[in-house]
Amino acid sequence: MRRDATPRRYLMCAPAHFKVTYSINPWMDPTKPVDLPLALAQWEDLRDRYLSLGHTVETLEPEPGLPDMVFAANGALVVDGRVLGARFAYPERTAEAEIHLDWFRANGFTDIHEPSHVNEGEGDFAVTASWILAGRGFRSSPLSHDEAQEFFGRPVIGLDLVDPRYYHLDTALCVLDGDEIMYHPPAFSPGSQAVLRRLFPDALLVDAPDAAAFGLNSVSDGRHVLLPQAATGLLAPLRERGFEPIPMDLGELLKGGGSVKCCTQELRPAPEPPA
Ligand code: ARG
């Protein structure tokens, strides 16, 4: 099957002030040192790779005192050019939400919804052709799902996350193209696994080693799949499906509990008006 990439627009934030000083997910160990120059170099590699694939990368100004800002995916959900702001679960990240909103206001986005309920942006929302998939259980409030559905006018499918290592939806599930996804079934409750089987009978199922290597924290443009390099078990199945996997080393950022996808917020444009 021939796969076509479509040009994307991403929002990223350099890890200029990245460190692990608190622990809000099981991957974060404040006693482990972080190599900041290496984290920056790994992030720059990711940004440059997007640019060389023809994508657009916008950047947020990193702020001292907000070490998790590099995980820009969490700051909002943008679909059809409309922006649902984030509201963080932990006080350590609260201030990031307003910084994202300011960026959108300054960059021509006018349809912006400031949320009433906790949601961690694209950390817990994934957009397929037909649905918005929405994680709950660790971070985003189930009430944010209705809020997203009402704002975007797209059906939102709530999914229960049950394994603390996969605390955000984007650590357990990845949209590859259209309504094609990959996911790690044990990260979800039995009922949510049944929902996923029903909606995505042909999904690529990801096993424990590749999930633990953050293999689901990947970004696809419809053809190229940028994925953490340790998730080696995904290379062959992705190629079999016609995708071109591109392994990336984001090892330093993994110490914060994030990888490729967490660093990347997609700015999905408004649909083209009919000609
Ligand atoms: N340390 C960050 C947190 O726990 C990592 C966020 C990762 N981002 C993501 N989209 N999963 O909030």
- pLDDT tens string 175-215: 999 999 999 999 999 999 999 999 999 999 999 999 999 99
pLDDT of res. 161: 98
Residue 108 covered by a domain: yes
- CB distance 249 to 66 below 8 Å: no
Q: How far apart are CA 185 and CA 205, in angstroms?
A: 7
Q: What is the pTM of this model?
A: 0.97
Residue 273 covered by a domain: no
Query: Interface pTM (ipTM) of the complex?
Result: 0.96
Specify the number of domains making up the chain: 1
pLDDT of res. 188: 98
Q: Is 147 in the pocket of ligand 1 (CB under 6 A)?
A: no
- CB distance 238 to 204 below 8 Å: yes
- Residues 161-180: tens digit of each pLDDT: 999 999 999 999 999 999 99
Per-residue pLDDT, averaged over 17-46, amounts to 97
**Residue range of the domain that includes 88:** 9-15+32-266
State which ligand 1 atom lies nearest to the alpha carbon of 93: 12
| Residues 191/234/229/252 CA torsion (nearest 10 deg) | 0
Q: Is 13 helix (H, G, I), strand (E, B) or coil?
A: strand
Local confidence band at 19 (pLDDT 50, 70, 90 cut-offs)? very high
- CB distance 151 to 174 below 8 Å: no
Q: How far apart are CA 267 and CA 219, in angstroms?
A: 13
Residue 24 covered by a domain: no
Q: Is 54 helix (H, G, I), strand (E, B) or coil?
A: coil
- CB distance 127 to 176 below 8 Å: no
Q: How far apart are CA 126 and CA 239, in angstroms?
A: 22
pLDDT of res. 152: 98
Q: Residue 108's domain is classified under what CATH number? A: 3.75.10.10
Options 55, 168, 184, 224, the catalytic residue: 168
Residue 23 covered by a domain: no
Q: What is the 3-state secondary structure (H, E, C) of 137-183?
A: CCCCCCHHHHHHHHHHCCCEEEEEECCHHHCCHHHCEEEEECCEEEE
pLDDT higher than 90, residue 55: yes
Residue nearest to atom 1 of ligand 1 (CA): 256
Catalytic annotation present for 224:
no
In degrees, rounded to 5, the angle at the alpha carbon of residue 234 between the alpha carbons of residues 183 and 9 is: 70
Mean pLDDT of the chain: 97
All residues at 6 or more sequence positions from 188 whose CB lies less than 8 Å from its CB, including other chains? 159, 160, 161, 162, 172, 196
Residue 212 covered by a domain: yes
Q: Could you tell me the CA-to-CA distances from 157 to 121, 144, 151, 154, 171 in Å, in that order?
A: 15, 11, 14, 10, 17
Q: Is 101 in the pocket of ligand 1 (CB under 6 A)?
A: no
Residue 4 covered by a domain: no
Per-residue pLDDT, averaged over 98-116, amounts to 98
Local confidence band at 267 (pLDDT 50, 70, 90 cut-offs)? very high
Measure 106 CA to ligand 1 centroid, in angstroms: 25
pLDDT higher than 90, residue 272: no
pLDDT higher than 90, residue 3: yes
Q: Is 128 helix (H, G, I), strand (E, B) or coil?
A: coil
pLDDT higher than 90, residue 273: no
- Residues 246-263: tens digit of each pLDDT: 999 999 999 999 999 999
pLDDT of res. 170: 98
Q: Percent of the chain, pLDDT > 70?
A: 100
Catalytic annotation present for 55:
no
Residue 271 covered by a domain: no
- Residues 115-155: tens digit of each pLDDT: 999 999 999 999 999 999 999 999 999 999 999 999 999 99
Residue 40 covered by a domain: yes
pLDDT of res. 2: 82
